Amino acid sequence: MKKLLKLIKFIDKNILKWFFVGFIFFAPLWPKIPIKIINYTYIALRADDIYLSILTSIFFIQLLRKKVVLEKRFFILFSIFWIFVFSSFLWNIYISKNIEYPHLGFLHSLRRIEYMIVFFIAYSLVKTKKDFFEIIKYFFIAVWLVVLYGIGQKFLNFPAVQTMNPEFAKGYLLYLTPEARISSTFAGHYDLASFLVFSIPIILSFYFLFNQKKYLFLFILSLIILIYTASRISFGAYIIAVFSFLFFIKKYKFSIFVIILTILLMLTTGELTKRFLKTFQIRTILVDEKTGAVYIGQKITTKELPAGSFYIKLKDQNKEIKNEINLNEFKQKIVEEKLKEATLSGKISNINKEEFITTISANLKPVNTVVSDISFATRLQVEWPRAINAFKKNPFLGTGPSSITEATDNDYLRWLGEFGFFGTLSFLIIIFNIIKKTFFSIKKKLDKNNFPFIGFTFGLGALLINASYIDVFEASKVAYTFWIIAGLFIAFRNLSFKNEKN
């Protein structure tokens, strides 16, 4: 009986920690295979939702039993944000009626709590310095597994489960083509890249703290996988965050090593360089003077990023620009397609075909331009204006969660569009307070014991850069990981405050 009671006490003492450590691995590594697809969307109930429900239940039971503590100051800040989220939801359901499907709006609102609750669970488990270093090591093991799977995906044909479109989101196993961008265990290459740029400064900070080569090797492998994702915004975030971090802690010689390594890896793969070069392209396009329609002659392949319809007209219109295809042939093809369309619709008869062809040909004028790739053009012409218009519609509370579809590809505009000024400000106040705790409160900035706090802050900075081009705080695997690590670091920093006072 005594052995049984002892076993029960041991389980009671450690059950929250066991489930939490399991979630550190589960969140980034378990593929996004749906259990149930939610109607009118490709968002699904998944295994991580069920796992987190169990973990949260254990946390609240232990909280009620006073076995763990709640970080009250941050709980107030988080609660204010959640209040604005649900205020926006209720207002746009019952008053403005901007949310078409109430159950989607509710799930989108609930998701904000779901992602962020792990912050408090992580915080509650760090009671000593030893607890922090013991738990954080599992995060590094998870990063190892992510990058090793990414290498297997690139070179050994490991499958991927992605949610880049509604069909993929059904949970199919995909085998990537040689030129495809890898996603490892994540839902897409952008998510994987965001996870890595957040992790890399933290990895380097622990390398300088302990001077152990395993962290250096993990950094190198993470950089290789980051480059294979060919995510331009994440690579830019990596450059800014990592080199700012290294210069801040005065690791100038190591910076030279990282510069050389980065250049060599970029030249070796080549894909990232090609994508940067395709971001803006000088082309001669055809513009219909009557309708304003844009036609871009280009060869569409899986290896290249096609140009979008957003363009800037060049001043020199007489300059001859070398194009991928013959413009005259391309113009003739457009005219033929329009003629076929008009004939099938019955808009023209055999008598006026020549007149129709002449008119269409005369309207199509060649224009020398700088065109953006389709990725940037979609954001600039569709997604970002949609979010801005939502903000204009209701600047204070936005048009509600889920009202501007699943993606905006800019978290700042998404917050403004969905939650308005109040919701956006309350979220940014949380981020500011995290940075304040982990960075601005450090008195001896170059003490190596403070390197992990500095590394975490620059990792967060990389995420904030990514948020300008991706909904990074809405990507579940990235969001879970960020709030887990944030909770661990805030708890560790509070312990450091106590030690400094004593």
CA pair distance 466, 189, nearest whole angstrom:
13
pLDDT, residue 39, reads: 67
pLDDT, residue 415, reads: 96
pLDDT, residue 5, reads: 87
CA pair distance 226, 150, nearest whole angstrom:
10
> What is the three-state SS of 191-247?
HHHHHHHHHHHHHHHHHHHHCCHHHHHHHHHHHHHHHHHCCHHHHHHHHHHHHHHHH
Write out the two tokens for 367: 């224009």
Residues 399 and 370 grouped into a single domain: no
Number of domains in the chain: 2
Q: In which element (H, E) is residue 373 found?
A: strand 364-373
DSSP percent split of the chain into helix, strand, coil, nearest 5: 65, 5, 25
pLDDT 10s digits, 11-34: 999 999 999 999 999 999 999 888
Long-range contacts of 109-116 (CB under 8 A, 24+ apart): 109/85, 109/401, 111/474, 112/81, 112/82, 112/85, 112/401, 113/82, 114/49, 114/52, 115/473, 115/476, 115/479, 115/480, 115/483, 116/78, 116/479, 116/483
Residues 130 and 221 grouped into a single domain: yes
Q: In which element (H, E) is residue 368 found?
A: strand 364-373
Residue 261 lies in a domain: no
Which of 363, 385, 407 is the last residue in one of the domains? 385
Residue 3 lies in a domain: no
Choose between 170 and 137: higher pLDDT.
137
Least confident segment among 124-138, 161-175, 199-213: 161-175
Residues 449 and 363 grouped into a single domain: no
Sign of the Cα torsion 129, 135, 137, 140 reads negative
pLDDT 10s digits, 248-302: 999 999 999 999 999 999 888 767 777 777 777 778 777 887 787 887 777 666 5
Range of the domain at 284: 279-385
Choose between 318 and 177: higher pLDDT.
177
Instruction: Give the 3-state secondary structure of residue 54.
Output: helix
In terms of residues, how long is the chain? 502
Instruction: Give the 3-state secondary structure of residue 268.
Output: helix
Least confident segment among 40-44, 368-372, 456-460: 40-44
Residues 490 and 376 grouped into a single domain: no
Residue 405 lies in a domain: yes
pLDDT 10s digits, 396-429: 999 999 898 778 899 999 999 999 999 999 999 9
**Tokens 């030279």 sit on residue:** 256
**Mean pLDDT over the full length of the chain:** 88
Instruction: Say how many C-beta atoms besides its own lie within 10 A of residue 254's C-beta.
Output: 15
pLDDT, residue 191, reads: 95
Residues 32 and 159 grouped into a single domain: yes
Residues 55 and 166 grouped into a single domain: yes
Query: In DSSP terms, which residues pair with 294 in a beta bridge?
Result: 287
Which of 335, 368, 385 is the last residue in one of the domains? 385
**What mean pLDDT do residues 447-456 have?**
92
